[in-house]
Amino acid sequence: MPPFEQDKFENGRKRERWLSIFFLLLAGILIALPSRGQEQVATALRATVLSPFLLLQESLVQTRIRAEEVADLQARLDAAAATLAAQSTLREENERLRELLALRERAGPSFRSASVLRSGIRGSESMLLLDVGGREGVEVNDPVVSAQGLVGIIREVGSGRSVAMDWTHPDFRVSVMTLDGEAFGLVEPRSGAFREEDRLILTGVPYYTTLDPGTALVTSGRGSVYPRGILVGTVQELAATEAGWARSYWLEPAVRPFGVNQVLVLTGDPARGLGEGEGLEGLWVEPEPEPGDTLSAPTEQSNPEEGFNPDELPTPDEPGEPDDLPISNEPSDPNEPDATEDPDGLGAPSSSNGGRR
Amino acid sequence: MRPDWGYRAILVALPILHFTLHVGLGLERGAPDLLAVGLLLLARELRMGTAAGVGFVLGLLEDAFSLLAFGANALACTVLGIVGSRSRDLFVGESVLFLVSYLFLGTWLRGALHWLLAGDEVRSDAALSLLVNAPVDAAYATAVGVALLFVTGAWRTEPRG
């Protein structure tokens, strides 16, 4: 190496050495700086070179906080929704109980209020477990009603529990009539693809008796199970006709059993407390003021979907009078089924069992 | 001097990644000491004075978050830069074994220097710091640093340039 280059190399090394010493001294000075000076240097660095990293962390922290706040808010929202839902359930239950209370007060002591218990297991559809039983005077074949209408009938009775079947049960049958008594028939269930699609069908309506959609149908009271006047459903549409013989209609049930939580059980003799031919139709629908004017004229009924309205309670003279249930069809009408013996007009057994087959 | 700009870019990116992990993401000790790894590798590419300056700056940036031991990182990194630069004169070192040993010892040295220079408020038990924490941190940083170099292809065993 030439002397010039060697000198240059040595000078470079010396410069690097002094530079290193300089930085070492500078670092030592930093350590020896008073706290105030150290803070100023640190603050300046954080505010300039390191600010992007700090901003990144701030944004992440804010994001995390927002996420936690969202989770917290979501939890609070869920809690509030749950509270509201619980209150809504209580309110609905309260309203149902009030309706049932009014209905019970109106109907008399023979109605026992009951809560519906559901097992929820497969195969328990169409069955209602009630928290009333033999102690409360409940017996087999007692009707089960709600503020909207007929729910079903008691099948089994224990001391404090009873099992009822609702109208979706395949064995369910009930003899019904229009409010004006123009038409009688037998109602039975028809299963749909889903439980919500279950419907009732009215069969055995005389061929020349047409029923308009919306016509309310109540229990006819024939037999010894269902008292007259319990709302069963309303006519939806014509289902089928048997030429020259009878018609059948699809009905919109007055009660959807899967939504029922509170019911009333009519205990004792269905006719007890009721006068001769007296019914309960005034509890659910307003009786026809002038029944039997025409065969096919649509009758103005209270909307059964609205349920029982205590304000619409009939006066004692209004419901249940024998004159309220005239048979408008002429007895000589060949299409008129023998309502006494064969209300459904299909040759079925008489409704001595309350319309159930 | 190695003319591999990708390698140098990785060396520059390591301190940035270090601050991103430690400060930006707030991982603290969960993140490896990539500052030491970057400084050690960079120091071998630089002259002693320059490496000392780089070490001083990087250490000073760390000291911005270390008011209880302000300057300790700057001095430790300055020393580390000097040592790293001088190691080039002592060891040629292109093997993986040298790389691992160099990074491990250098990172451990940084921890030891910081422990030595830090005040009593920061300084913990010597055995725990120098024989447990510092080696573990050094191993962690070495593993991540070596992995990064190999994954990115920045490290090659054959002579560069």
pLDDT at A23 over 90: yes
pLDDT at B17 over 50: yes
Interface test with A, best of B18, B57, B65, B110 (most A CBs within 10 A): B65
Of A28, A32, A42, the CB nearest to B67: A42
Kindly indicate the confidence band of residue A171, based on its pLDDT and cuts at 50, 70 and 90.
confident
DSSP per residue over chain B, as a string? ----HHHHHHHHHHHHHHHIIIIIS--GGGS--HHHHHHHHHHTTS-HHHHHHHHHHHHHHHHTT-GGGTTHHHHHHHHHHHHHHHHHHH----SHHHHHHHHHHHHHHHHHHHHHHS-TTT---HHIIIIIIHHHHHHHHHHHHHHHHHHHT---SSPP-
Average pLDDT of every residue of chain A:
72
pLDDT at B161 over 50: no
Q: What is the pLDDT of residue B51?
A: 94
Kindly indicate the confidence band of residue A342, based on its pLDDT and cuts at 50, 70 and 90.
very low
pLDDT at B136 over 50: yes
B117 to chain A, closest Cα gap in Å: 9
Kindly indicate the confidence band of residue A35, based on its pLDDT and cuts at 50, 70 and 90.
confident
Q: What is the pLDDT of residue B135?
A: 93
Using the Cβ of B24 and the Cβ atoms of chain A, whether some distance falls under 8 Å is answered with yes
Q: What is the pLDDT of residue B49?
A: 93
Q: Does the beta-carbon distance from A18 to B49 stay under 8 Å?
A: yes
Interface test with A, best of B21, B58, B60 (most A CBs within 10 A): B60
Of A23, A45, A46, the CB nearest to B78: A23
Q: Specify the higher pLDDT residue, B42 or A98.
A: B42
* Domain ranges for chain A: 174-353
B140 to chain A, closest Cα gap in Å: 23
Give me A87's structure tokens.
């209150």
Q: What is the pLDDT of residue A279?
A: 62
Q: What is the pLDDT of residue B108?
A: 95
Closest CA to A141 of A306, A294, A352: A352
Q: What is the pLDDT of residue A350?
A: 35
């962390």: which residue's tokens?
Answer: A57
Q: What is the pLDDT of residue A245?
A: 80
């057994």: which residue's tokens?
Answer: A349
Q: What is the pLDDT of residue A328?
A: 37
The per-residue pLDDT for range A262-296, each reduced to its tens digit, is 788 888 765 554 554 556 666 776 655 554 444 44
* Domain ranges for chain B: 5-152
Fold of A174-353: Thrombin, subunit H (2.40.10)
Residue of A nearest to B59 (CA): A27
Kindly indicate the confidence band of residue B34, based on its pLDDT and cuts at 50, 70 and 90.
very high
Query: Taking the mean position of all CA atoms in its chain, how far away is CA A125?
Result: 15
How far is the C-alpha of A294 from the C-alpha of A273, rounded, in Å?
A: 32
Query: Taking the mean position of all CA atoms in its chain, how far away is CA B6?
Result: 19
**Least confident stretch, A57-61, A82-86, A299-303:** A299-303
A74 to chain B, closest Cα gap in Å: 26
How far is the C-alpha of A229 from the C-alpha of A177, rounded, in Å?
A: 9
Both ends of chain A: CA-CA distance in Å? 124
How far is the C-alpha of A55 from the C-alpha of A48, rounded, in Å?
A: 11
**Least confident stretch, A11-25, A104-118, A340-354, B11-25:** A340-354
The per-residue pLDDT for range A90-142, each reduced to its tens digit, is 777 777 777 776 666 555 557 788 877 765 555 567 778 788 888 888 888 88
Q: Enter the ipTM.
A: 0.90
Q: Does the beta-carbon distance from B26 to A61 stay under 8 Å?
A: yes
* pTM for this model (two decimals): 0.47
pLDDT-above-70 percentage for chain A: 66
pLDDT at A303 over 50: no
Q: What is the pLDDT of residue A315?
A: 40
